[in-house]
Amino acid sequence: MRKALKAVTLMGLAAALIAPAATVKAADMDMGSTKVTIGGQLRERLEWYANEAGSGAGREVGGTYRARLKIKAELSDGVTAVFVPQAVGAWGQNGQGLGLDTGDNQIFKMHEAYMLLANPFGINNVIVKIGRQEVNLGNQRLVGAVGWSQVGRSLDGILVGYVAGDYGLAGFFYGKLYDEATGAGPWLKQGQKDQDIDLYVATWQGKFKPFGIGGTYELTDIYVNPTTNYAKNPDIGVKDGIDLNINTIYGRVTPTFDTDFAKIKLNLEGAYQSGNADFIKANLSPDGKKNHDFDGYFFSVGAGADFDQVTWAPSVFVGYDYYSGDDNKSGDYDAFWSVLPTAHKWLGHSDVLWRDNVYLFNGKGLVNEITQRSPGVEDLYLKLDAKPLDRLTVALDLHYFQTAEDYAVDTKNKIYGVKPDKYKGPTSDDIGWETDLALKYKYSKNLCLSLGWDHFDPDSDFGKAYLGGNDDAEDHIWAQADLKF
Rounded to an integer, the average pLDDT of 289-302 is 90
Range among 175-179, 209-213, 442-446 with highest mean pLDDT value: 442-446
Contacts of residue 283, defined as CB under 8 A and 6 or more positions apart, other chains included, come to none
For residue 471, what pLDDT is reported?
85
Residue 433, CB-side half-sphere exposure with 13 Å CA sphere = 4
Confidence (pLDDT) at 200: 96
Can you give the pLDDT at residue 40?
96
* 357 vs 459, more confident: 459
Q: pTM to 2 decimals? A: 0.87
Domains of the chain: 2-181+191-484 (2.40.160.100)
Average pLDDT of span 76-87: 94
Residue 129 pLDDT more than 90? yes
SS3 345: helix
What's the 3-state SS for 311-377?
CCCCEEEEEEEEECCCCCCCCCECCCECCECCHHHHCCCCCHHHHCCCCECCCCCHHHHHHCCCCCE
Average pLDDT, the chain: 84
Looking at residue 122, its amino acid is: G
Q: Is the pLDDT higher at 216 or at 180?
A: 216
pLDDT tens per residue, range 416-428: 888 888 888 899 9
Task: Specify the higher pLDDT residue, 396 or 94.
Answer: 396
Find residue 143's DSSP bridge partners.
340
Q: Determine the Cα–Cα distance for residues 163 and 178; give it in Å rounded to an integer.
A: 30
pLDDT of residue 483: 98
- Which residue did the predictor score with more confidence, 127 or 371? 127
Task: Report, in angstroms and rounded to the nearest whole number, the Rg of the chain calculated over CA atoms.
Answer: 24
Q: How far is CA 139 from CA 142, 307, 420, in A?
A: 8, 22, 35
Neighbours of 235 (CB within 10 A): 9
Give the residue among 93, 74, 73, 75 at the shortest CA–CA distance from 83: 73
Closest by CA position to 360, among listed 248, 235, 479: 248
User: In percent, how much of the chain has pLDDT > 90?
Assistant: 53
**Using one digit for the tens of pLDDT, what is the confidence trace for 356-399?**
667 776 543 556 666 677 889 999 999 999 999 999 999 999 99
Residue 442, pLDDT > 90, answer yes
Q: What is the pLDDT of residue 1?
A: 39
Mean pLDDT for the stretch of residues 273-283: 77
**Coil, strand or helix at 473:** coil
